[in-house]
Amino acid sequence: MNINRIDLNLLVYLDVLLREGNVTRAAEQLGLSQPAMSNGLKRLRDLFNDPLLVRTSDGMAPTDRARELQPLVREALLSIEKAIEPKSGFDAANAQRVFRLMVSDYTESTLIPALLDRLQAEAPGIVLDVLAPGDMSYDDVEKGRVDMAINRFDTLPPAFHQVSLWKDHYVCMLNVNNPVLEDFTLDNYLAAPHVWVSKTGMGASKGINLDDSRRLGWVDTALRQLGKQRQIRIYTRHYLAAMLLAQQKNVIVTLPSKAARIFKGYEAVAIHKPPFRVPPIHLTMAWSPLLQHNPAHQWMRRLVTEVAKGIDDLDRRDPLWK
């Protein structure tokens, strides 16, 4: 096979077809008509002497040959993209584009406001489309439909690129007149009613199962290791709602300190160290290998990392309690 006789655009078609597993969606991604995309698939089948995608009861599925080709084609295209990448880089000050960020409520309340401040100063034409983890899936991130996911992850697909943004410790937020403050022991902590805030995962959210305490998250896992259990009276997926509920007279909210900092100096609430050890959480930014060498994406990743470092440095300069 002589490479001079091959239309290299067909490799772009193949990459998108294998990623999407659907001719219509692949055509939309490339700005082609469906007949043009179907013709491209026919030419690819002739080129590789293989059907590549076959129709099944679950939709189009790749053949063994297609699975072998997918990483090779992706690597080749990434190399070409890197080779032709403009030396001037990304002109953020004059850019007009949207970045789609999949973030948890915790991230939205702690990182996004500071990130928006930087964007308004340095790249006023950039728009953020902030999505919740329940809106999309790992597959959307992997296929580049989302620029990056910023959350606390137990595990991530091995193909993803990732970087740790910060480590955060837990604190307790409660009404300044809550009687438990007079003797903030573990026993008194456990006797009080609590607000639980979800560690939001990817995909559609499922309701709480009260019989499955193992899925309640870091705080309750730490208590279970002590043979203890707190009295949870309300479950919420929103940190700002939980912090407002902390104003209730007898309620305790246990949450990461960077979220609690939003209410620092608010006279109605007190912020206190928990009476037991809760392991810190790590905030991670993850993105698709498809976007690794994109200049605009590289710029945004650097900006997010810088903003996160600034927030983390503030905790060291100005701790929530002395």
pLDDT per position as a tens digit, 291-309? 888 889 999 999 999 999 9
Q: Which 3-state string (H, E, C) describes the chain? A: CCHHHCCCHHHHHHHHHHHHCCHHHHHHHHCCCHHHHHHHHHHHHHHHCCCCEEEECCEEEECHHHHHHHHHHHHHHHHHHHHHCCCCCCCHHHCCEEEEEEECHHHHHHCHHHHHHHHHHHCCCEEEEEECHHHCCHHHHHCCCCCEEEECCCCCCCCCEEEEEEEECEEEEEECCCHHHHHCCHHHHHHCEEEEECCCCCCCCCCCCCCCHHHCCHHHHHHHHCCCCCEEEEEECCHHHHHHHCCCCCCEEEEEHHHHHHHCCCCCEEEECCCCCCCCEEEEEEECHHHCCCHHHHHHHHHHHHHHHHHHHHHHHCCCCC
The pLDDT of residue 100: 95
According to the model, what pLDDT value does residue 206 have? 53
The rounded percent of the chain whose pLDDT value lies above 70 is 91
What is the rounded average pLDDT of the residues 24-40?
Answer: 86
Q: Is the pLDDT of residue 208 over 90?
A: no
How much is the pLDDT for 303? 96
pLDDT at site 204? 46
Question: Residue 215's pLDDT band (boundaries 50, 70, 90)?
Answer: low
pLDDT score at 134: 81
- What pLDDT does 222 receive? 93
Interval 52-87: pLDDT, tens:
999 887 788 999 999 999 888 888 887 777 676 655
* Averaged pLDDT, 151-163: 86
pLDDT of 207 higher than 70: no
Instruction: State pTM to two decimals.
Output: 0.72
Q: What pLDDT is stored for residue 228 in this prediction?
A: 95
Mean pLDDT of the chain: 87
Is the pLDDT reported for residue 281 higher than 80?
yes
User: Rounded to whole angstroms, how far apart are CA atoms 69 and 18?
Assistant: 9
Q: Please report the domains of the chain, with CATH numbers, ordered by start residue.
A: 3-84 (1.10.10.10), 92-167+282-317 (3.40.190.10), 170-279 (3.40.190.10)
Higher pLDDT, 208 or 245: 245
